[in-house]
């Protein structure tokens, strides 16, 4: 246990990791503001839940496309530049929305186009972030799980505060003005990465083979990685549909209160924060793979309470519970899946996996509004429970019959003799400090 605490201190003290964590926490806080402000602005402009689903689906369609066809960006530019350019581009694009709204030029088509461009940055950014974390902390499942959990704790705090703050700000200001704060958060994140992340960190290279083909081959090389990616796609569909429906719940059950919408999203954020904080203690007693599978199964069971005719207080409690289970299983699940990929093609595999996973989010956002208006909230929530149950089955079946440990595909070095590339010099100290028995868990699968 003393060793685990020492590892955690070393991880939190690493300067590069702290910069990435700070940048992520700031941008996530802004993103959570817009998670309430964006659908609220669309509802204000159109009054249509279906339009909300279509606008947000445009963003997730771009995420899917960039995950499948933007793999070369990560391979050639490298994680640092992908993250820096992504934050800067999002700052400009998000700032366009309130400007166009003030000028009277913000049509649904323009809104969807801007969100599509924002979505193009997500999959490469997330894959670059995961790749950078793997470089920083090494390839042990437990340490990667703990470090990733520590990383997620800061972002989950933003997820807890962001929606609550968004509800209050929208009630005080306007949804359009709140989006300016999201743009500012991206700008601050870009500035942190530019000023504090060493230029030599995670520089790019040239792929020997087509990155998309290499990423797909990496995923297909391992049964657990394949099935868990499919399971995470179902998870993402359920999550994004749920997020899309929360403003509808506030409209129908809380007299169109943005504060209620923020409180419900904040309940989920609080639950995920509690779950993430518990990961470190749980990993001292439970292997990462077992914790991931148990958490996914329990999550599916808890989700089945949402179709019940709940009041806002009871729904908030359910959201705390599902958030808690998501937080507990997110870090170990993503760590285990990432380490199953061959090291040589891990970045490509992570980028493709992110795109495939978030393809579920595209479907969830697109269908949530249609389903809610056609079948009602309760029936739609029941469908989301079925999706979570299917994801749990894939997690269990993927884990059964596969050996624990890091993948050693062709061309992949043994994890006990990990080497570092010449273009990741600042990472060397992290590899020296961190023992080979524990690394921060990759995130749930993405999310």
pLDDT at position 442 is 32
pLDDT at 70 over 80: no
Q: Do the domain assignments include residue 431?
A: no
Q: Do the domain assignments include residue 76?
A: yes
d(CA 417, CA 415): 5
The enclosing domain of 219 has a CATH number of 1.20.1250.20
Q: Which residue has the higher pLDDT, 17 or 321?
A: 321
Domain of 365, in residue numbers? 2-195+212-406
Sequence length of the chain is 447
Q: Do the domain assignments include residue 336?
A: yes
Q: Do the domain assignments include residue 429?
A: no
**Under 8 Å between Cβ of 380 and 248:** no
DSSP 8-state secondary structure symbol assigned to residue 417: G
Residue whose C-alpha is closest to residue 241's, from 326, 367, 391, 58: 367
Q: Do the domain assignments include residue 436?
A: no
Q: Would you place residue 261 in the very low, low, confident or very high pLDDT band (cuts 50, 70, 90)?
A: confident
Return the number of other C-beta atoms located less than 10 Å from residue 313's C-beta: 9
What are the tens digits of pLDDT across the range 158-191? 767 777 788 888 888 888 889 999 999 999 999 9
State both tokens at 96.
């366009």
d(CA 142, CA 334): 12
Return the number of other C-beta atoms located less than 10 Å from residue 396's C-beta: 15
What are the tens digits of pLDDT across the range 378-425? 888 899 999 999 999 999 999 987 776 555 443 333 333 333 333 332
The mean pLDDT of 236-264, rounded to a whole number, is 78
Q: Do the domain assignments include residue 441?
A: no
Is the Cα dihedral 424, 428, 429, 432 positive or negative? positive
pLDDT at 325 over 80: yes
pLDDT at position 97 is 93
What are the tens digits of pLDDT across the range 202-233? 555 545 556 677 888 888 888 999 999 999 99
Q: Do the domain assignments include residue 203?
A: no
Taking each helix axis from N to C end, the angle separating 108-119 and 49-69, rounded to the nearest 10 degrees, works out to: 30
Domain count of the fold of the chain: 1
State both tokens at 444.
């749930």
Close Cβ partners of 109 (under 8 Å, ≥ 6 residues apart):
none
Q: Which of 19-23, 38-42, 66-70, 299-303 has the highest mean pLDDT?
A: 299-303
pLDDT at position 13 is 55
The mean pLDDT of 117-144, rounded to a whole number, is 79
pLDDT at position 390 is 95
Q: Do the domain assignments include residue 428?
A: no
The mean pLDDT of 106-126, rounded to a whole number, is 89
E runs forming strands in 315-433: none
State both tokens at 69.
């066809």
């Amino acid at each position: 246990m003393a060793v685990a605490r020492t590892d955690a201190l070393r991880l939190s003290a690493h300067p590069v990791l702290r910069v990435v964590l700070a940048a992520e926490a700031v941008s996530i806080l802004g993103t959570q503001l817009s998670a309430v402000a964006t659908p609220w602005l669309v509802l204000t402009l159109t009054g249509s839940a279906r339009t909300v689903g279509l606008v947000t689906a445009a963003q997730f369609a771009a995420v899917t496309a960039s995950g499948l066809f933007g793999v070369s960006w990560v391979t050639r530019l490298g994680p640092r530049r992908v993250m820096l350019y992504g934050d800067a581009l999002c700052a400009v694009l998000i700032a366009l929305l309130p400007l166009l709204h003030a000028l009277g030029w913000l049509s649904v088509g323009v809104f969807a186009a801007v969100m599509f461009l924002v979505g193009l940055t997500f999959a490469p950014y997330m894959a670059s972030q995961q790749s950078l974390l793997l470089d920083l902390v090494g390839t042990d499942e437990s340490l990667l799980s703990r470090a990733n959990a520590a990383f997620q704790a800061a972002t989950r705090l933003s997820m807890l505060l962001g929606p609550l703050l968004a509800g209050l700000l929208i009630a005080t200001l306007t949804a359009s003005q709140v989006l300016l704060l999201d743009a500012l958060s991206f700008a601050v994140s870009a500035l942190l990465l530019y000023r504090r992340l060493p230029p030599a960190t995670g520089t790019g290279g040239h792929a020997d083979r087509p990155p998309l083909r290499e990423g797909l081959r990496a995923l297909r090389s391992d049964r657990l990685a394949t099935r868990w990616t499919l399971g995470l796609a179902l998870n993402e569909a359920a999550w994004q549909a749920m997020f899309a429906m929360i403003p509808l719940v506030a409209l129908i059950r809380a007299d169109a209160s943005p504060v209620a919408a923020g409180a419900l999203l904040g309940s989920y954020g609080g639950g995920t924060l509690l779950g993430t904080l518990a990961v470190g203690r749980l990993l001292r007693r439970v292997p990462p793979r077992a914790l991931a599978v148990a958490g996914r199964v329990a999550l599916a069971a808890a989700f089945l309470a949402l179709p019940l005719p709940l009041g806002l207080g009871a729904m908030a409690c359910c959201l705390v519970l599902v958030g808690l289970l998501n937080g507990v299983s997110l870090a170990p699940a993503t760590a285990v899946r990432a380490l199953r990929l061959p090291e040589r093609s891990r970045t490509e595999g992570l980028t493709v996996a992110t795109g495939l996973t978030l393809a579920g989010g595209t479907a969830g956002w697109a269908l949530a509004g249609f389903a809610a208006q056609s079948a009602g909230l309760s029936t739609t929530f029941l469908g989301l429970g079925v999706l979570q149950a299917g994801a749990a089955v894939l997690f269990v079946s993927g884990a059964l019959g596969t050996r624990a440990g890091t993948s050693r595909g062709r061309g992949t070095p043994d994890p006990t003799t990990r080497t570092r590339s010449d273009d990741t010099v600042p990472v060397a100290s992290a590899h020296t400090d961190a023992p080979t028995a524990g690394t921060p868990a990759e995130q749930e699968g993405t999310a």
